[in-house]
Amino acid sequence: MPKFAANLTMLFTERPFLERFAAARAAGFDAVEFLFPYAWPAQEIKALLTQHRLRLVLHNLPAGDWDAGERGIACLPDRTEEFRAGVARAIEYATALEVPQLNCLIGKVPAGVDPRQIDETVIENLRHAAAELARHGKRLVIEAINTYDIPGFYLHGTAQALRLIEQVGADNLLVQYDIYHMQRMEGEIAATLQKHLNRIGHVQLADNPGRHEPGTGELNWRFLFAHLDRIGYDGWIGCEYQPATTTEAGLDWIEALSR
């Protein structure tokens, strides 16, 4: 049976962020994930996790100026020092929050820069991040994003992610496989999950089109959840979708599609 983690960046947004932990527990979730913890003291978040008996399964490395439209800085040659400082800050939070893995959003390709320099920057940044996380017993995951939602995003396909992992050469570097993004970019969800299961460290979901909850779009979720069980995926599945109405009103998909 799948294990679902509520993505608190996307779900329960009717409430302030720090109130979403209680809402996730009340809705029956045992685990949560979110984009970034850095606006709050780590101990404040830790207290909420403890109070509501929740596990935090994932958060992201710092990704630049999010409000200004940045979606990661790992591909920016002129910001490697900022990237490394972000890795150190993320590890501090991940240690305090007992997070097993961190996601690196690589970012949008900068204009006017030699593509070879961009590639080299990405590889070296990932090597650094993976090595630092390995020292603390943690994994690094990288996520391919569809270029319809984020035009120009550097990492946009599974094969590209796997090539990066080979080039970096770190045992603790894996794929964060987002079903929504990869349905938009390449399809073949079930076959890809099965073929590359040993390289997949985390799975996220949303239906397509619309990026709403499972059951609102074209994907056969009953089949996919059973398929993940059959092939032996035992990690968490992050619910990173935009509720079609309210979070609570749409949560009946869990009972309907995953049992």
State the DSSP H helix or E strand holding residue 94, giving kind and residue range, or none if neither. Answer: helix 80-97
| Total count of residues recorded for the chain | 259
Residue from 167, 176, 168, 214 nearest 196 by CA? 176
Torsion sign across C-alpha atoms 252, 257, 258, 259: positive
SS3 110: coil
Measured between alpha carbons, how far is 234 from 214 in angstroms, rounded to an integer? Answer: 20
Q: How far apart are CA 117 and CA 124, in angstroms?
A: 11
The contacts of residue 50 (CB under 8 Å, 6+ apart) are none
Hey, which residues are catalytic here?
A: 143, 240
Burial class (CB in 10 A: 0-12, 13-18, 19+), 197: middle
Q: Which residue has the tokens 């900068």?
A: 110
The radius of gyration of the chain from alpha carbons, rounded to an integer in Å, stands at 18
